[in-house]
Structures are given as structure tokens and as C-alpha cells.
Amino acid sequence: MPSPIYHTNPQETVATLPAVAAAGGLPVMIYSNRLAYRVDVTVDVMGELASDPLFVAVKESSDDIRRSTEIINRFGNRFDLFTGVDNLAFEALSVGAIGWVAGLVTAFPRETVAIYQLMKQGRREEALSIYRWFRPLLDLDVSTYLVQNIKLAEVHAIGTNDRVRMPRLPLAGERRATVEKIVKDALAVRPALPRF
């Protein structure tokens, strides 16, 4: 991903990412997350990186589902396309993403895998039913408190703890109560999963 501290312009991004890839010498997934990191790895920037064989995949997290289609339209299968936005996973898989770099998977692994597998098997309606149930939980991943939200979801879903590394702190007060309600409400109506 581009530097989260020094925000690069497109020319700097195109110069920096290949230098990092060459230094590592390993296959690279381009992380496109303009909202969190304030650097937009646009389709044009990807076009400049496409000739470098070290760039093999894109984690599309721009929060604009149209971009997934733009990547496929421009590059075909040149890059393996993944979604990195939990609450756009169904949409991204519907338009051609081959994978999902998920956040809530740690608390809800069966549901995450079920959606992915059902979509790959063309069982869209079954996947959509689970996804609609899952959406309030998936929205917890699209937040500046995503780490704390996911850890608190894990407390209730899998019985772990809500410890986080500083500078983050566990959720407290009204924010904690809001997240706990979302998780508990979802758990109360957790769907049975089909075989896939």
C-alpha cells in the first residue's frame, strides 16, 4: 500500500510501489484504499503498474463498487481482484472479484465462507439471504473503530476478548453499547447455513 504517512501523488505512487516490489522480489497485491490512506491507487495508476509482473492482485477498497468493474474492463484477468470492504463483498463478488479480504471473518468465519462459496457456486439468492442478515455486522468493519468493533464482536460470537494494541483502546460507554446491541441482535437471529 502507499505510505500512510507521506501521502503520494500519482507519479510518486507509480515510482514508489515498483521500488518496494523490486526490493521484496515477491508477488504483490496492490492495496487501493483511498479513504483510509488518502492515496488513490486509481485504475490509471494500476495501468502504469500492469507491466510489472510482480504486481499480481488488487485489494480494491476504494468504497466505490464501480471501480471493481472498471478494473476488470480495463485489465481483464491481469490482476486477481479482491474486495477489501466487508459491506461491499456481495456486490464485488457479483461483478467479478475472485476473493474477499474480510474483517468480520474472525468473529463469523462460517458465514463469511458461506457467502463466498455460495457466490462461487452461482447460488446467489442463498448468499444474498446470509449477506442481508450479515450486513449490520459487516458495517462494523467500515469504521475508524473497526479493530475495536471486530474484537468486541469476537467477544460475543466466539468467546474471546476485546484486548487491542495501543494506541487503540477497547470500546467503552455508548459506542460499546451500540456495537454490542448490533452483535447481540444479529446473534439472536443467526441463520442456519446451507450446505455448500
pLDDT in tens, 130-173: 999 999 999 999 999 999 999 999 999 999 999 999 999 999 99
How many Å apart are CA 88 and CA 90, to the nearest integer?
6
For residue 32, what pLDDT is reported? 84
Query: Can you count the helices (H) and strands (E) in the chain?
Result: 9, 4
Beta partners for 100? 83
Which residues of the chain are under the pLDDT cut of 50? none
For residue 5, what pLDDT is reported? 63
For residue 160, what pLDDT is reported? 97
For residue 61, what pLDDT is reported? 92
pTM given for the model: 0.91
User: What is the CATH code for 1-101?
Assistant: 3.20.20.70
What's the sign of the alpha-carbon dihedral 37, 150, 126, 196? positive
Q: Which residues have a Cβ under 8 Å from the Cβ of 61 and sit 6 or more positions away? A: 31, 32, 33, 35, 36, 83, 84, 85
How many Å apart are CA 135 and CA 90, to the nearest integer?
10
